[in-house]
Amino acid sequence: MKKILAIVLAVAMIASVAMLAGCGETKEAEATKDSQGKTVATVDDLAGATIGVQLGTTGDIFASDYEEEGSKIERFNKGADAVLALSQGKVDCVIIDSEPAKAFVAANEGLKILDEPFAVEEYAICVSKDNADLTAKINEALAALKADGTVESIINNYIGDETKGQSPYQSPADVDASNGELHMATNAFFEPYEYYEGDKVVGIDAELAQAICDKIGYKLVIDDMDFDSIITAVQSGKADFGMAGMTVTEERLESIDFTDSYTTSTQVIIVKE
């Protein structure tokens, strides 16, 4: 009887060890699977992926279409936070403008930009629907600045190899700012369009806004805020216009007006190498 009981207990112990080992292997396999995420090699791979975006940006708007295809969209207040999440394996990719993407990849080892572009877009300045006069003035100034080469020079000062850093915008000595102040709402973490050098906001948008204000007789004041707050600030009158690498979309046009476009950009996908 004792022998039979011993055999039964031994079999039970072996079965328990086997079950525990099996459970351990399953959990380990699941953990490995979770940490691997999904490989994004083309735009077609975005379906079902975890996508990092900056809240309220065009990347956010475009990526939202993939939620219907099983993708999870992780939204961050800053593009840098989305890129950090990618480096930490918390998202599978990041969708963002091509120029900031280049800066992020250069600063973060182990990341790359896919060759295939995600979307092409045009940037413009947002103005309240109640301020058509300002929109008209900005458009007039933009046309003049395009015609005399100022817009191209400002962009070349930040993008490209031929003239990068060679043509910073300088306000004319006789500039007249007697019309008062114009407040520009921006999110200054979008290099090279707007970013900090010390405590000063610089970049393509900052320089172009200064050139526009010089043309129409205003002093420029730059107000840094979350990107998702820019349109609301302009609508409410807390800012006179918004300039932050903003794309004209049908959704945004429902609540805000836009000036003529001042440059074309490309949305790209950043992934781990």
* DSSP conformation letters of 73-111: EEEESSHHHHHHHHHTTSSSEEEEEHHHHHHHHHHSTTE
Domain at 125-246: CATH code? 3.40.190
- Specify the DSSP class assigned to residue 227: G
What is the CATH topology of the domain spanning 43-120? Answer: D-Maltodextrin-Binding Protein; domain 2 (3.40.190)
Query: Is pLDDT of 166 > 80?
Result: yes
pLDDT band with cut points at 50, 70 and 90 for residue 164: confident
Q: What is the pLDDT of residues 66-112, one digit of tens each?
A: 999 999 999 999 999 999 999 999 999 999 999 999 999 999 999 99
- Is the pLDDT score of 246 beyond 90? yes
Which pLDDT score is estimated for 263?
95
On whether the CB atoms of residues 92 and 106 are closer than 8 A, the answer is: no
Residue 32: what pLDDT?
A: 29
- The string of pLDDT tens digits covering residues 113-123 is 999 999 998 99
Report pLDDT for 11: 40
pLDDT of residue 167: 86
Residue 204: which of 148, 160, 239 has the closest Cα? 160
pLDDT (tens digit, 9 = 90+) per residue, 26-74?
Answer: 333 333 233 348 999 999 999 999 999 999 888 998 999 999 999 999 9
Prediction pTM value: 0.73
Query: Would you state the pLDDT for residue 165?
Result: 85
- Residue 16's pLDDT is 43
CB within 8 A of 191, min separation 6: which ones? 99, 100, 103, 203
Q: What is the pLDDT of residue 214?
A: 98
Res 18: pLDDT? 40
Closest by CA to 191, choosing from 257, 95, 101, 122, is 101
Read off the pLDDT band of 243 (50, 70, 90).
very high
User: pLDDT higher for 12 or 48?
Assistant: 48
pLDDT of amino acid 49: 97
| pLDDT score of 196 more than 80 | yes
Report pLDDT for 160.
81
Single out the residue of 77, 94, 79 nearest to residue 37, CA to CA.
94
Classify residue 172 by its DSSP letter: -
pLDDT value, residue 79: 93
Q: How confident is residue 162, by pLDDT bands cut at 50, 70 and 90?
A: confident
Q: Do 43-120 and 125-246 come out as alike in CATH topology?
A: yes
- Whether 261 has a pLDDT exceeding 70, the answer reads yes
Mean local confidence (pLDDT), 229-253: 96
Structure tokens, 82: 């989305």
How do the domains of the chain map onto residue ranges?
Answer: 43-120, 125-246
